[in-house]
Chain A
């Protein structure tokens, strides 16, 4: 008989050895000045190297707000965000991001899109120098033949795979993903999730995923933070003890069903109506 381990929020858990966490977030809160809306209140969390953590919660509970603050795209109202020992005070090169839309620039080829972060930060010649690495990344996600194609010719799934490459090209210390596959159809989405797992395991990547799909969160994560709205806060942290590598077949196991049911209980029925 297995039980779901539910540590206190903020407890680093067994993954934390003597090493200090990659990301440390303490007493974070955010109030949007425009409408005095309390989007986040008292959020604590830490991410450890190589860990995959997800946030689930109904829409509007502050998931994107949390991610944007972590990425340095939005200043917090109170609290602190520290990445690799240095406070996050703006966008940083060691953060890789991915959004719901692939947002590839239509006037650049796939390859040029992938080296865009390097082009912006380090200039054209650095971007040119990185094209070999970009091509390798494209091959990694099965887009090797599409390097010189314009994004208009890529399918939704291919475009998102290209945007994974763009996120990885500068070799970021941490990956922040905001519902990256929710615009894709279900079959493509399952496939992309397995790709993402493979890439993260190969690179020992530290990843933070925002999603509203419980199945997606469970299949990918080591830990899941469950959020509730008004004000946005983390109500629980759920450890996922399914073995790695995860497979899509695990979705049909009783263990998987138990975990999903537990999280659904935590969120309450009203969260999804």
Chain B
């Protein structure tokens, strides 16, 4: 008989404790941080440390949020602007996905694409793409097509790179398996490389979702038109900073909606790979 059994549990069982800050649940942690930031913001504006033209108080911003919200809900000109920007973002995302995916397959699947196409893509990608905005406006005019073009232009490259990387992701063993069962190149692409690369491709799509938003607003800043970006610029030029803040917050909802649509599609499509997806919340 060993004397281990003589020792009671109370003396031997111990519990590993997380630090207090690590034990706060997500919702509480997020609310806590929000309250702290708003409190500091309120303090800074209340004490007059920063001019209201630079930083409006939380109360002013809230008032404008409500005003803009009412305008949107009652379907007035702001809703029209938001709709214009939504369409721009939507078209740009579709175009970027189609072109980015096709180029990505060309680069990732063919030696020609890798050797000839990729160097040019890298060269264009290193350019500041906003600099092309005046060209797009000159070619396509001041309506949404020039903004769509700029946004799509910005968002295409991450999809190309992600798709090409995804097609390389299948392991040597998996390729050998497909070769040994007599798979054609097309079969290997469609049944092995593409499904294996999907998590990568979705990472590219998420980066592109952020990119089209930036591109669309940039296009509207530079090329005018009827979108949300034009509203923001207008309010800014009138020094109406609370309005600018409110508009940016509503705009970010559009970005979030696009981003989480991509995340949602990814969860459905790539059901076998739920963990370690960069950027996935929850």
Please report A residues at the B interface, Cβ cutoff 8 Å.
68, 71, 73, 91-93, 95, 97, 99-101, 103, 105-107, 116-117, 120-121, 150, 152
Contacts and interface: CB of A to CB of B under 8 A. Distances in A.
Contacts of A97: 176-177, 180
A105 B171 contact: no
A120 B180 contact: no
6 contacts: A68-B176, A103-B177, A106-B273, A107-B271, A116-B181, A120-B187
If over half of B's interface residues share one DSSP class (helix, strand or loop), that class is named, otherwise mixed; here it is helix
Interface residues of B, number: 18
B272 A152 contact: yes
If over half of A's interface residues share one DSSP class (helix, strand or loop), that class is named, otherwise mixed; here it is loop
B180 A91 contact: yes
B180 A71 contact: yes
A120 B182 contact: yes
A91 B175 CA distance: 13
A73 B195 CA distance: 23
Contacts, number: 47
Contacts of B171: 101, 103
B179 A73 contact: yes
A121 B183 CA distance: 7
Given A73-B180, A91-B181, A105 B187 contact: no
Interface string B135-163: 00000000000000000000000000000
Interface of B: 171, 173-174, 176-183, 187, 191-192, 195, 271-273
Q: Which 3 A-B pairs have the closest CB atoms?
A: A106-B272, A117-B181, A97-B180
Contacts of A93: 182
Given A71-B180, A73-B176, A91-B181, 12 more contacts: A73-B179, A73-B180, A91-B182, A92-B182, A95-B180, A97-B180, A99-B176, A103-B174, A103-B177, A105-B191, A105-B195, A107-B195
Nearest to B273: A106
Contacts of A152: 272
Nearest to A64: B176
Nearest to B274: A152
Nearest to B181: A117
A132 B183 CA distance: 23
A131 B178 CA distance: 19
Contacts of A103: 171, 173-174, 177
A103 B173 CA distance: 7
Nearest to A119: B191
Contacts of A100: 173
Contacts of B179: 73, 91
A107 B192 CA distance: 10
B272 A120 contact: no
Nearest to A117: B181
Contacts of A120: 178, 181-183, 187, 191
A100 B171 CA distance: 12
